[in-house]
Chain A
Amino acid sequence: MLAETKIVRFDSIHLDCGVTLAPVEAAYETYGSLNAAKSNGILVVHAFSGDAHAGGPDGWWESMIGPGKAFDTDRYFVICTNVLGGCKGSTGPGSINPETGQPYAMGFPVITIADMVRLQKMVIDHLGIARLLSVAGGSMGGMQALEWAVAYPEAVASAIPIASTARHSAQQIAFNEVGRQAIMADPDWNEGNYYGQKLPGRGLAVARMVGHITYMSDDSMREKFGRRQRDENMFEVESYLRYRGSQFVDRFDANSYLYITKAMDLFDLTAGKTTLAAALERATTRFLVISFTSDWLYPSYQSQEIVNALRRRNHDVAYCELASSYGHDAFLVEVNEQTELVRGFLSRTMKERR
């Protein structure tokens, strides 16, 4: 299953911060084919460091997308876009500002999860899909799925937020802030103006190392590394983190890191409402919420908060806390269990749409 990343350009997008970004581009990939009724479209939304390449070889959710898989491309038309503010084809701080001819860098406007979703909606409209069968994603992808259900209830029949939250806790914000400070403390960051020069690789690598610690669990780290040593100067875990950090520098833009983590921290589904239940009042979609026992970055109580709020409004919600030792990474790793849940849930949703 080969898919190429396509780019679609729109005249402009109006952002939550009041700024209009013009023009704006979105990178996306699609898998499978849209049926005649255009009723089998599923938008898969990526987590913080993901991109539009979700399915196919080396796709970040390849194990879940494809013929016979959870998001069965024989039945469904799967779409994935790179988020606004990203660095994999969609407009972000590394894109050229048409007014200056230079990269936006720190001149890029503050973006929100709702802005990302707004751009996704434009892509979906562009594809001629009036109503998606589902929006699904883990972590930051789950936030977008929730935002979809609240912002465009008429345009999405179901939502699958996995290992996610309706708002970041102090702990989640704290880890993101450590990452941002690591980047900004790197002299090569140069107030964000490093394009075409030496990249703030050390800061970005440290940020990623912290991230990777939060994606694992005490158990999974013990199992994967224990106290094994690579050589007499280095533990396995140190070597792993350094490798992951340096690898990340080659594929991710430090300024995108700053903007996207900020968007996650700012996300609060209850904003302007008295309760989460009131915020979810508008949602008319069915929900499948999944969390993992060992995920301490997005603990189950955050998913349960969403589920309980939905039940208070008597919305249709299925919820399961899957047993896993992989920590937050579980949503990318625990394929069999998620496949069983997602497959059943999507079949029912499809059936009820007919």
Chain B
Amino acid sequence: MEKRAAFVRSLLGRRDYAMIGELVEPNSKVLDLGCGEGELLEWLAENKNVDARGVELFASKVQRAIARGVSVYQGNMEECVSDYPDHAFDYIILSQTLQEVRHPQRILQDIMRVGKHAVVAFPNYGHWRVRLSHFFTGRAPKTKLFPHDWYDSPNIHFFTIEDFELLASREGWTLEKRIFLAGNHEVSMLPNLTAEVAVYLLCK
């Protein structure tokens, strides 16, 4: 979760808020899963006039988010998404958390049911640095992107851009937009090898 907050601040720093901003239509209804202190939602509410809601597990972060004026619910995102009626939101954002949830397929299916669109961002396990780290050390990869020791990592699923797109095609989801990032730059060539972070806009 700390990592996510850092992600929002740095990778998606002011300039890159605009990137998610581009994906999200103005005046829409947005649910951010694992929204932290609600910075992104506040930005979307201020700049895109969206009806911004969030889910966050930690009370101290929920407190900060509500203090910002964002409607955040303290709870477990995996348990709560299924409560919402069909198409309750225009967009559901799942940013940098898919690799941490217990049942990624189930939560994605719920998201695709509850949201008309999904914005999913995740670190790409196929990045060349990850591959090299594994290849040369013979151990679980440790890189800037995956900085944790295997025994102390919030990440419980490791998947690549290829893996994600395979799942999307099996489930019949449409990839409306793909953005691949390395550092603060967009990359387009061999994304599964060169992208550190992938951001998808999907719909069913």
Contact = CB atoms under 8 A, between A and B. Distances in A.
Interface of A: 286, 288, 304, 307-308, 311-314, 316-323, 337, 340-341, 343-345, 347-348, 351
B67 A341 contact: yes
Greatest chain B CB density within 10 A among A312, A320, A344, A351 is at A320
A318 B66 contact: yes
A318 B72 contact: yes
Given A312-B85, A316-B71, A351-B69, 13 more contacts: A304-B75, A308-B83, A311-B80, A314-B88, A318-B72, A319-B62, A319-B73, A320-B62, A320-B66, A340-B66, A343-B67, A344-B66, A344-B68
Task: Tell me the interface secondary structure of chain B in the complex.
Answer: mixed
B74 A344 contact: no
Interface residues of B, number: 20
B59 interface: yes
Contacts of A288: 66
B66 A312 contact: no
25 contacts: A304-B75, A308-B80, A311-B73, A312-B83, A312-B84, A314-B88, A316-B71, A317-B71, A318-B70, A318-B73, A319-B62, A319-B75, A320-B62, A320-B63, A320-B74, A321-B59, A322-B63, A337-B63, A340-B66, A341-B63, A341-B66, A344-B66, A344-B67, A344-B68, A344-B69
A321 B53 CA distance: 17
B51 interface: yes
Contact of B69 (A311, A317, A348): A348
Given A314-B85, A317-B71, A319-B73, A345 B63 contact: no
Contacts of B63: 320, 322, 337, 340-341
A24 to B, nearest CB: 37
Contacts of A348: 69-70
Nearest to A304: B75
B31 to A, nearest CB: 10
A304 B67 CA distance: 20
Contacts of B73: 307, 311, 317-319
A307 B72 CA distance: 11
A231 B43 CA distance: 61
Going nearest first, the 3 A-B pairs with the smallest beta carbon separation are A348-B69, A344-B67, A318-B71
Contact of B74 (A313, A319, A347, A351): A319
Contacts of A344: 66-69
A348 B51 CA distance: 11
B59 A345 contact: no
B69 A345 contact: yes
A345 B70 CA distance: 8
Contacts of A351: 69
Contacts of B83: 308, 311-312
A35 B31 CA distance: 34
